[in-house]
Amino acid sequence: MKSPTSNDRGALLPAKPRIAVVGASGLVGGQIMDCLQEREFPSRSITAISPRGNQPAAAADADLVFLAAPTEVSRLQAPRLVAAGCLVIDLSPAWRLDDDVPLVVPEINAENLRMHHGIIASPNCTNVPLVIALAALHKQRVIEKVFVTTMQAASGAGRPGLQCLEGGPNPFAKPLVGNLIPQCDDFDANGVSAEELRLVVETQRLLAKPQMKIMASCVRVPVAVGHAMTVHVELRDSFSVDQARDCFASMAGMQLYKRTDYPSVLDCVGNDMVHVGRLRQGNESNELHFWLACDNLRKGAATNAVQIAEELLPH
């Protein structure tokens, strides 16, 4: 039987919830199914449901629903599922900026789960590794400016992106194979892509720093899985490389590389860590440069969503 308080503010899950994964046949949905098994998530049942048509309505019998579906599906179905007594973890952009929906990366703001009303948003896959790294530094020094250039795998565009690398139709604005495309999603009138805007506003919200200055450039690269990025931060006060390394080494979910080593995207595929290397001082003593890599389908998306669910189990 469902918990009668499943729609109450901050409600927890039953000890062994019934789970539905809407979009389980997609890249992220499939990873959620794998992640639930790998992490031995306690459940009475796990059901895979298609996001097409009215099929998500079948998830209404579940205690917990992962919505790995297009934005329009999440907008329509999430309120219906909550009304039916489900707790929804949504992986689309549909609810990430809604003031009544917590946007959560458990390593940095799990306490916000106490404020949920039935829907919880998991961030964009590019934001997750970035905010974990920024949060590690921000504990010791105020970050004033961030400049980030991302290199995003084809799988960030879903199965059509992967199929493109295998000779299928190209879903991108320009050919991807043997190429780099400085466009991830559509541009607005000012030439800012929707992905770049997400990177800015979601990072500001996750860090609870709406005034933080962030400049992002997002580039699609001909790699199957694994997002990487180069990050430049300007802090309010001086901060040494050694101090920054200590911050990263003590941050949950981060793997710090030796000074002369660095992660490639192949190092991060198939695991749930945020990999950081090439940490070095900028021109000024308050400037730092570093390199991040992360599996965009796992920690960037599926694992983060499952970790949210783990926080909602009764302890």
E strand or H helix at 212: none
Write out the two tokens for 300: 């960037």
What region, left, alpha or beta, does residue 89 occupy, with left being phi > 0 and alpha being psi -120 to 50 degrees?
beta
pLDDT tens digits for 262-311? 999 999 999 999 999 999 999 999 999 999 999 999 999 999 999 999 99
* Residues whose CB is less than 8 angstroms from the CB of residue 119 and which lie 6 or more positions away in sequence, other chains included: 78, 79, 82, 88, 90, 95, 98, 101
Whether the CA torsion 124, 129, 130, 132 is positive or negative: it is positive
Report how many helices (DSSP H) and strands (DSSP E) the chain contains, helices first: 9, 11
Query: Is 125 one of the catalytic residues?
Result: yes
Share of the chain above pLDDT 70, in %: 98
- 232: pLDDT strictly greater than 50: yes
The C-alpha torsion from 264 through 265 and 269 to 274, rounded to 10°, is: 80
Average pLDDT, the chain: 95
Question: For residue 302, what pLDDT is reported?
Answer: 98
List the one residue out of 148, 149, 145 whose CA is nearest residue 284: 145
The C-alpha torsion from 149 through 198 and 64 to 9, rounded to 10°, is: 130
Confidence tier at 2 by pLDDT (50, 70, 90): very low
Average pLDDT for 171-191? 96
Question: For residue 10, what pLDDT is reported?
Answer: 84
Helix, coil or strand: residue 228: strand
Question: For residue 8, what pLDDT is reported?
Answer: 72
Q: Are 88 and 118 within 8 A, CB to CB?
A: yes
Whether the CA torsion 58, 61, 62, 67 is positive or negative: it is positive
Query: Of 125, 164, 218, 247, which is the active-site residue?
Result: 125
Question: For residue 62, what pLDDT is reported?
Answer: 97
Question: For residue 56, what pLDDT is reported?
Answer: 86
Question: For residue 7, what pLDDT is reported?
Answer: 57
Query: Regarding predicted confidence, which is higher, 158 or 54?
Result: 158
Confidence tier at 16 by pLDDT (50, 70, 90): very high
pLDDT tens digits for 50-101? 999 888 888 999 999 999 999 999 999 999 999 999 999 999 999 999 999 9
List the one residue out of 193, 190, 201, 155 whose CA is nearest residue 176: 155
d(CA 147, CA 177): 27
Domains of the chain in sequence order: 18-123+301-311 (3.40.50.720), 127-296 (3.30.360.10)
Query: Of 116, 138, 218, 227, which is the active-site residue?
Result: 227
Query: Is 227 one of the catalytic residues?
Result: yes
- 3: pLDDT strictly greater than 70: no
Q: Which long-range contacts (CB under 8 A, 24 or more apart) does 209-214 make?
A: 209/138, 209/143, 212/143, 212/144, 212/145, 212/146, 213/144, 213/145, 213/146, 214/145, 214/146, 214/147, 214/148
